[in-house]
Structure 1
Amino acid sequence: MFVGSDIGVAAYTSFDAGGTWRAEGLLPGLVPDFDGNPTVAFDSRGRAFVGCVVATQGPPRHGDVLMWRSDDGGRGFRPPSTVIAGGPGLVDHPHLTVGTGSRRVSAYLYLAAGMYGTTSDGIVVARSTDGGLTFQPPRALDPAAGARAIAPVAAAGPDGSLTVAYVTPSPSGDVLLKAVTSGDHGETFTEPFTVAEVPAMAPGLGDVTAKSGPALAAAAEGSLICAAVTGFDDATGMSQLLLTTSAGPSEPSPTWSSPTTVAVSDRAVYLQPQLAVADDNRIAISVYALSLTTLRVDVLLYVSDPVRAASMPPAFGPPLRVTTQAFDPRLAIDTGSTHWLGNYQGLAAAPGHVLHPIWTDTRTGRARIFTAAVRVRRV
């Protein structure tokens, strides 16, 4: 949230399945400066974990990733712990996920992030085995890609598996969706491998910034992992929403399905996909759809039939329109150089076949956080 010309991070909580929300204020001890990129996760005991970048505006810009834990669902938070220190550089785009425990550890926390302007630039992951009180030193996942690798996302499966996906340019100038996986709670990782390739994720949007990145999710039971990315071909003007699935870690690298085209259009641009896997193994994807005719944005939700095998392409029905009215992205926060709509949105699956997308929306004339509870038909 903007506080004058500074940026801070605030928490909001709901205890009635998203029906009403209350503001908890800025995270404790946080002084707004150039903070952002919040990421939220819950463990099986209901503890909430909130991580974000705590940075200075500079120049030069420095930033660490801190994490706060709440033992009462977000009403109160413990003092923060440092997950990754940026030192002379910046830690960016953190993403939290919680994995199931083992005989020695009740739950594993993993935070993937990018490090830039440091001695170990690139995608890293840090792990906690004590409920987020401390984190082990970050581990580099793709040193060869270095600072060219960006926008990491992480997903933990129920079997000790961990997948981290990110994007990096190919030698030809295309965008590669790459990943590394672990089958032993983050002790060891495969070599990086390519999951999908697109010409670009999105076109230039003029004075609006709505960067698009990959999305990743794992089923709560079984071994289904899925990744989504948008693709844009400047030569044809076609925008695509792509999905690929995997049955989980294997050596030397997991097998992923060929990308499935969930949506394709030359009249809309798809941006910022988000993924969730429901308890019946249905895959849900939310995405911004920017109309090239009206220059307005809607949030669409695609829901698949239950996935029986990761090797079989999921079948999706027509999209559900989540937004009750389209909004103008040019009304997003004016930073002086761009109208900032953000890097990513959110999506969660709840029991009872309910999906909760959350997104930035400007229908009121300024940027606001919107959410919805969407009940999908049982298949």
Structure 2
Amino acid sequence: MFVGSDIGVAAYASFDGGDTWRARGLLPGLVPDFDGNPTIAFDSRGRAYVCCVVATQGPPRHGDVLMWRTDDRGRGFRPSITAIAGGPGLVDHPSLTIGTGSRPPATYLYLAAGVYGTADDGVVVARSTDGGRTFQPSRALDPAAGARAIAPVAAAGPDGSLTVAYFTPSPSGDVLIRAVTSGDHGETFTEPLTVAEVPAMAPGLGDVTAKSGPALAAAAGGGLVCAAVTGFDDATGRSRLLLTTSAGPTEPSPTWSSPTTVAVSDRVVYLQPQLAIADDNRIAISVYALSLTTLRVDVLLYLSDPVRTASTPPAFEPPLRVTTQAFDPRQAIDTGSTHWLGNYQGLAATPGHVLHPIWTDTRTGRAQIFTAAVRRPRA
């Protein structure tokens, strides 16, 4: 949230399935400066963990990733701990995920992030094996890519499986989506593997910034990991929403399917996909759809048939329009140099066949957080 010229991070909680929300205020102990990039995960006991970047505006800009835990579903928070320290540099774009194991400790927290402005720039992962009380020192996942590796996302499955995906540029100037996986609770990782390649994520949007990163999700029951990305081709003017799937960590290295085109258009630009896998192995993808005719944005939701095997391309139903009113992204927060629509949005699948997309929307004339509860048909 913007507080004058400063930025802080605030929490909101719902106790009725997302129908109503209560403001919890700024995270305890946080003084707005240049904070952001929140990421949230719940463990099997219902405890919530909230991470964000706590940074100074500089120059030079530097910041750490801090984490708060709530044991009462957001009514109160424990004091923060430092999950990844940036030192003289900046930790950016954290992604928190939680996995379980068959022997103590039963809960593992994994935090992927980018570190920049240090001697060891690049994508890193840090792990907690004590319920988030402490985090082990972070480890580099792709040292060869260094600072060219950006926008990491992490997804944990059962039995120690963990996947981290991120972007790097190719020698030809395209954008590569690369992934590393672990099958032993983050003790070891495979070598980075390219799972998709696109010419660009999106065209230039003038004075609007809506950066698109990769999205990643893992099935709670195992056997399915999905990555989604948007791609834009200047030569054809076409925007695509792409999906690739994997069975998860295998020896000696996982395999990923060829990217499937979920949607393609020369009238709409797709931005900021989000992924969730429901308990019946249906894949849900939410995405911004920017009309090149009206310059307004809608949120679309794509839902697949139940996925039987990771090697079979999923079939998707026609998209559901989630937004009841398209909005103008040029009414997003004016930072002085651009109208900022953010780096990513959110999507969760909950029991009871309900999907919860959450997004930044300007239909009221200013940037606000919107959400919806979308009931999906049973398989």
Which bin holds the TM-score, normalised by the shorter protein? Answer: over 0.9
Report SS of the residue matched to 2:64: strand
Q: Deviations over 1:304-340 (max 9, x none)?
A: 0000000000000100000000000000000000000
Q: Deviations over 1:162-196 (max 9, x none)?
A: 00000100000000000000000000000001000
Partner of 2:304: 304
How far the C-alpha of 1:102 sits from its partner, in A, is 3.5
After TM superposition, the structure 1 = structure 2 runs for residues 1-379 of structure 1, keeping only pairs within 5 Å, are: 1-379=1-379
How far the C-alpha of 1:224 sits from its partner, in A, is 0.5
The CA distance in 1 between the partners of 2:36 and 2:226, in whole Å, is: 26
Q: How many residues align?
A: 379
8 Å contact kept, 2:222–2:248: no
Moved more, 355-364 or 216-225: 216-225
How far the C-alpha of 1:227 sits from its partner, in A, is 0.4
8 Å contact kept, 2:102–2:159: no
The CA distance in 2 between the partners of 1:272 and 1:345, in whole Å, is: 7
8 Å contact kept, 2:214–2:273: yes
The CA distance in 1 between the partners of 2:216 and 2:136, in whole Å, is: 23
How far the C-alpha of 1:252 sits from its partner, in A, is 3.2
How far the C-alpha of 1:376 sits from its partner, in A, is 1.1
Amino acid at match of 1:292: L
Report SS of the residue matched to 1:109: strand
8 Å contact kept, 2:153–2:215: yes
The CA distance in 1 between the partners of 2:332 and 2:238, in whole Å, is: 25
Report SS of the residue matched to 1:330: helix
The CA distance in 1 between the partners of 2:102 and 2:354, in whole Å, is: 30
8 Å contact kept, 1:358–1:370: yes
8 Å contact kept, 2:124–2:138: yes
How far the C-alpha of 1:89 sits from its partner, in A, is 0.6
The CA distance in 1 between the partners of 2:178 and 2:191, in whole Å, is: 10
8 Å contact kept, 2:239–2:268: yes
Report SS of the residue matched to 2:284: strand
Amino acid at match of 1:181: T
How far the C-alpha of 1:353 sits from its partner, in A, is 1.1
Report SS of the residue matched to 2:330: helix
The CA distance in 2 between the partners of 1:245 and 1:152, in whole Å, is: 17
The CA distance in 1 between the partners of 2:251 and 2:93, in whole Å, is: 28
8 Å contact kept, 1:202–1:269: yes
Give the aligned CA root-mean-square deviation in angstroms: 0.6
Report SS of the residue matched to 1:236: coil
The CA distance in 2 between the partners of 1:133 and 1:74, in whole Å, is: 18
Report SS of the residue matched to 2:273: strand
The CA distance in 2 between the partners of 1:116 and 1:221, in whole Å, is: 35
8 Å contact kept, 1:190–1:251: no
How far the C-alpha of 1:222 sits from its partner, in A, is 2.6
Report SS of the residue matched to 1:213: coil
Amino acid at match of 1:102: S
How far the C-alpha of 1:133 sits from its partner, in A, is 0.7
Deviating above 6 A after TM superposition, structure 1's stretches of 4 or more consecutive aligned residues are none
How far the C-alpha of 1:120 sits from its partner, in A, is 1.0
The CA distance in 2 between the partners of 1:16 and 1:158, in whole Å, is: 28
Report SS of the residue matched to 1:147: helix
How far the C-alpha of 1:104 sits from its partner, in A, is 2.2
8 Å contact kept, 1:191–1:252: no
Report SS of the residue matched to 2:147: helix
Q: TM-score, normalised by structure 2?
A: 0.99
Q: TM-score, normalised by structure 1?
A: 0.99
The CA distance in 2 between the partners of 1:17 and 1:189, in whole Å, is: 37
Report SS of the residue matched to 2:252: coil
Matched-pair identity in %: 88
The CA distance in 2 between the partners of 1:275 and 1:157, in whole Å, is: 14
Unmatched segments (≥5 aa) in structure 2: none
The CA distance in 1 between the partners of 2:252 and 2:238, in whole Å, is: 34
Moved more, 100-109 or 235-244: 100-109
Amino acid at match of 1:248: G
How far the C-alpha of 1:19 sits from its partner, in A, is 0.4
Amino acid at match of 1:162: L
How far the C-alpha of 1:15 sits from its partner, in A, is 0.5
The CA distance in 1 between the partners of 2:251 and 2:195, in whole Å, is: 15
